[in-house]
Amino acid sequence: MTYTFEEAISVLGSDHVDTELTYSVVPYVIWNEIYLGVLVNKVFRQVVLETNILEGGAGYKLRIPYVGTRFTDSDILTLTEDQMDTSGMALKKITPASIEISAADIFYICVGVTDVLKEDSGLDWAAPQFRAMGEALAEKIEVVIKDLLVAGVDAGNIVTSAGTLTYDNVADAIGKLEAANWVPELPPFLILHPSAKIKLVKETKSSFYQLGRFEGADIPFKEGQGQLYAGCRVLTTTKIPTYLALVVSDPKHRYGPSTVFAWKRSPKTETWREELKQRTLTSLTARFAGAVLFGKAIAMISNC
């Protein structure tokens, strides 16, 4: 006797019941791997100083002191011998300041897998779910840091493009940092959307190839720690708007980091059973917050 088997593709409903197999005995084949699909490029944690000083201790607030008004050459005074005898030296003092980081909120994601799904699919859903949850949390951190940088940039450090990001715009942004005495010791980071990066490559191409010694070469536009563009390390992410670009001083700068990101609770997973509903629940939680310490260490290019 000859048996013929057909392959059919079906969709698992929200109740994890295969509607096609409910009315048919046609078997189907499920691929033996669960793909997560496209992941977001993570860049923003590279440009901040991270600390776990809040973990394990009481309280969820961190106060970071810094010098609000520093001494300059105008604070160096002179006096004569007679003035020294009569009035003495004038007293000066720096002005202290501080920022506060409050990590009160709990960030979380919680999922559940029923016993029926595990039995019927024959696949291990735990591992891809854990990874997908971690990726979602990492994306949330990207957005939190991006929002901090955009909101915290000093008002005098904003460069407006004419509608297309250019080399000159990036150079002007670096000039804003240097005018505020944030002269790069390590190459700063240029953070932009992939579409803005493409515009920048096209804009640079015509002038780049006019230089005879570069004939046949490629535009130096490698991301990360490789080649530099206008003296910056280039980072691209879809988590920044297409119309904005940021130039951020290296967090290891001797003057300090532009932004501090503090953990109160590192990512933590917990798993428990709901026997009445025959499912396993898993949560991923974290507590964190950040603040911009020096807005003049950030420059922003708008209208890219």
* Model confidence pLDDT, tens digit, residues 156-210: 999 999 888 888 999 999 999 999 999 988 999 999 999 998 888 877 765 554 4
pLDDT recorded at residue 47: 96
301, 169 contact by CB (below 8 A)? yes
Sheet holding 245-248, edge to edge: 158-160, 298-302, 245-248, 189-192, 233-236
Residue 139: strand, helix, or coil: helix
pLDDT recorded at residue 100: 96
Q: Is pLDDT of 217 > 50?
A: no
pLDDT recorded at residue 10: 43
Taking phi over 0 as left and psi of -120 to 50 as alpha, with beta for the rest, 36 belongs to alpha
Q: Which residue has the higher pLDDT, 239 or 221?
A: 239
Q: Which residue has the higher pLDDT, 215 or 273?
A: 273
Question: Does the pTM exceed 0.75?
Answer: yes
- What average pLDDT does the chain have? 83
Binned at pLDDT 50, 70 and 90, residue 31 comes out as low
Stated as kind and residue range, the H or E segment containing 187 is none
State both tokens at 66.
Answer: 């810094």
pLDDT recorded at residue 220: 53
Average pLDDT over residues 277-304: 94
pLDDT recorded at residue 36: 66
- Domain locations along the chain: 33-68+99-210+219-302
Average pLDDT over residues 58-86: 91
Binned at pLDDT 50, 70 and 90, residue 94 comes out as confident
Average pLDDT over residues 246-261: 95
pLDDT recorded at residue 231: 86
Nearest to 297 by CA among 262, 248, 260: 248
Candidate ranges 1-15, 100-114, 193-207; pick with highest mean pLDDT: 100-114
Distance, CA of 17 to CA of 26 (rounded, Å)? 15
State both tokens at 155.
Answer: 């008002």
Binned at pLDDT 50, 70 and 90, residue 215 comes out as very low
Determine the topology of domain 33-68+99-210+219-302 in CATH: phage-related protein like fold (3.90.1690)
pLDDT recorded at residue 104: 96
Considering the chain, what percentage of its residues have pLDDT values greater than 90? 55
